[in-house]
Amino acid sequence: MSISRSAFKHVVLVIPVFVVASWATAGGEDFEPDRAVIRLALGANIADIHQQFGTLTVDVVAGRSVFLLDLPDGVSEENFAAELAADPRVIWADVNYIARDPGPGTQSFYLARTFMDYQNQYPRTLTRLPEAHQIASGIGIRIAVLDNGIDASHPQFAGAILPGGYNFVHNSTDVSDSAAGIDSDQDGLFDEMLGHGTFVSGLIRMTAPGAGILPVKVLDSNGWTTTFRVAEGIDFAVSSGVHVINLSLGSPGDGTVWSEAISWAEQAGVIVVAASGNDGNEQPGWNPARVPDVVAVASTDSFDTRSPFSNYGVYIDLCAPGSDIVSTLPGGGYGFASGTSAATPMVAGVVALMQEARPGLNAAQYRQILIEATDSVVAQNPGFEGLLGNGRLNAQRAVLRLCPADFNHDRVVNTGDFFDFLAAFYEVSPRADFNSDGLITSQDFFDFLTEFVQGCPV
C-alpha cells in the first residue's frame, strides 16, 4: 500500500553505509544497478568467479550457495546474467529485481478508526470468522510477516510477537515499524510506508488471534526492497520454523532467486501467501503471486465484487476482502485503507486456523482445501470468470473442509459426530448449517451423511 511513482531511486546497502543510487529500467522491469544474483553449482568456488569477472560478494545465502554480486563499472547487468547462466559453474543467474508493497495508499492515506471499527468490520462476518474461531484460533502456528516491521507495543499485539525476528534492510535485530527520515525513492515523500507492516499484522491478528507473528523486515520505510532481500527473508523465516509466510509485496520481475526460495519453503511444508498487486490489470501480473507454489490473493469488496485496484488473472487462487479495511497502526491506533496488502494477511490467518485444526497435512493439501472451500463470486463479477480464483475466502468452510465429518472437532470420526449433528439439526442450531448457505434444510443432513460415510477426505 504505497503511492505510485513514475521515476524512483532507492537506498542500496553497500557495506558499510547507505548511498542513493538510480534504478535501471529494461523492458519495463526494474532492477538494482551494478548487481546480479547467481547460484553456484556444487563444488564451484565463488573466488574463481570473482577472479575471472572482477566481481565482489555483497551478500550470500550460504546454505544454498546464492550470491549477490557487485559488478564492475560499465558491465550490463542483463548481459552479465545471461553469460553467467551459461557457465557450467553456475546453476542460474539473474538481475536483482526491485520489489515493493503493491500500492496504492500510504501512511498519509490512513484515516483514523476505532477499535470497535476494527472488531466489527465486514470481513469478519463475510468470511465467517466467528464461526471458524469456534474451532481454531491459530494456537501453536507461527506466521512470518515479511514487510517493513511491526509496532510490537500496540495493545493488539500483546503476547503475539515472536522473538527472533530480523531486519534485512539494516542487518540488525530491530524489526520495529519506524521512520527512517529518508526519502529513499526521491519522490518528495518521507517514510510513506510507515504503518504498512503493522497494518498487515493487525489483520493476521484479527484472523488468527492465537497465532504467533514473526516480524521479518525486508521493506524500507518507503516500501522498497529487492528480490534477493525477500529471498533472504523467506529462507530466514523457514529456518526459524514458521508455518506460514505473508508477502504483501511483489514485483513485475520474475526473480529466480525468490521463486527458488518459495519452492524450498513449499518443500519444507511452509505455505506462502502473496498479494496479486494493485495495478488493476491482468498483464503482466505480479510476482511472487504468479509462482506456482504460492497462494495468490486478489481483492474484493463487501459485495464480493472485484476491487477496482486489484490485479486479476488465471494465476489467482482466491480473493479476500481488501476494500475499506480497518487495522492496527503504529502508536496504538487504528486506521482505514484498501489494497491486496490487506486481503493477503486474512488468507494467511485462515491457513493458520486450518493448520491448528488439523496438523500434519502438506502445503499442497492445505492450499487445495483452502481454495476449494471458497464462496463463488462469479455472479458478482461478470467478465472475470476464471480470473479471480476459485472464489472468496470462507474461513469456516476452510476449517470444516479439513474433515467435515468430524462434527465435534475431536479429530476422530465416530458415532459421536453423527449424534451431535442430529441434535444440532433438530434444534435448528446454526452449527447444523453444514453447507454454509445460511439455511438449515434436509440438504445439510444429506451432505453431512455423505461426508460421515466417507470419513476424512484427505
Catalytic residues: 147, 196, 341
d(CA 382, CA 167): 43
Angle at CA 75, nearest 5°, toward 69 and 80? 60
Q: Are 457 and 403 in contact (CB under 8 A)?
A: yes
Dihedral of CA 419/422/426/429: which sign?
positive
Q: Are 245 and 272 in contact (CB under 8 A)?
A: yes
d(CA 243, CA 256): 22
d(CA 120, CA 72): 56
d(CA 442, CA 407): 17
d(CA 170, CA 103): 23
d(CA 126, CA 146): 26
